Amino acid sequence: MLKNKAGKSHHILIMIYIGVPIYALLISFTSYMSMIFFETIIARYVIVILVAWLVLVYVISLTRRLNKSYSGFSRRLASFYLWFISFILIVLLAITPIFSEFALGFGHALNAPCINASEELNSDGSYNLPKMTKSIEGVLGSKNANHPARGDFVSPILNFKYRECIYGTFYNSVGEPEEITTHTDNIQLSLDKKEMEFHKKNKGTKVVVTGYFSRSNNANHTTHPFFFIVDDIRKVE
C-alpha cells in the first residue's frame, strides 16, 4: 500500500482516482433509470437536486479528509480531479431529465402506431360514426386564436404527452378520397356546453376523450388539418 509523508496509507487517493469515477457512473445510470418512472419534468428535477446535494455533501466530506491527510501537489491534484469529476457529474444530472424526456419521446415516435382519423362512410354516403369513434388521452388546455370576424377567442385543446402521428382518409365535396398525415403536439376539441364547463373546471387535468376526428377547414378551427368532436370526456383514473 502506498504511503504519504506521515506514513499513512493512500486509501483516500485511491478512493478519489478510482472510486469516484465508478460512483459517478453508477449515480448517472441509476438517476436516468429512476427518472423514466416519473412523468413530470418537475419531479425529475427534484431527483436531480436531491442527488446533486448528496454528491456535494460527499465531495466536501472527502475534500476535508484530503486536506487533513495531504499537502502540496498531491492534495492540489487530487482536489482538482475530485471537483472536476463532481462538476461533470452534476452537469450530467442537470441534463438527464431533458435527455430522458427526449429518449422517451423518440421511443414513442418509433414504436407507437399512428392514430387513424379516417372518415368511414355508409353506402348512402353518410358518416359511419361507430367505426369512426376513437378514444385519445391527453391533458386539457387552451389555445389563443383570432377569427377574422369575431376577433380573439380561446379554443379548448387536448395536449398530448408526446408528439403524435395522425393520419386518415377524407372525402371532398365530390366524394374523392384524400390521404392526410400530420404530426402534432395537440388537437382542438369541439365541446358542447356541458363539456365546456367540464373543460373550464379541469384545465391541466389528464383526461380521456371519446369521439371522432374531422377536417379543420375554417377560421373556427385552430389545429390543422384535424380537430376532434367530443362525445364523452372523463378524467384518467
Whether the CB-CB separation of 210 and 223 falls below 8 Å is answered with no
Q: Is the dihedral of CA 40, 204, 231, 227 positive or negative?
A: negative
DSSP state of 7: S
pLDDT at 92: 87
Query: Which residue intervals of the chain bear CATH 2.40.50?
Result: 115-235
The pTM (predicted TM-score) of the whole model is 0.66
DSSP state of 191: -
Whether the CB-CB separation of 88 and 24 falls below 8 Å is answered with yes
Instruction: Please check the confidence at residue 6 and state whether its pLDDT lies above 70.
Output: no
Return the exposure string of 146-176: e unless at least 16 CB atoms fall within 10 Å of the residue's CB, then b: eeeeeeeeebbbbebeeebebbbebeeeeee
User: What integer is the mean pLDDT of 211-236?
Assistant: 93
pLDDT at 77: 92
Looking at mean pLDDT, say which of 23-27, 41-45, 77-81, 104-108 comes out highest.
77-81
Strand-pair partners of 210: 135, 232
pLDDT at 213: 96
The DSSP line for 57-87 is HHHHHHHHHHHHH--HHHHHHHHHHHHHHHH
Residue type, 216: S
pLDDT at 82: 92
Instruction: Provide the CATH number for the domain formed by 115-235 in this structure.
Output: 2.40.50
DSSP state of 114: P
User: What integer is the mean pLDDT of 80-99?
Assistant: 89
Residue of 96, 100, 111, 117 lying closest to 182 (CA atoms): 117
Instruction: Please check the confidence at residue 34 and state whether its pLDDT lies above 80.
Output: no
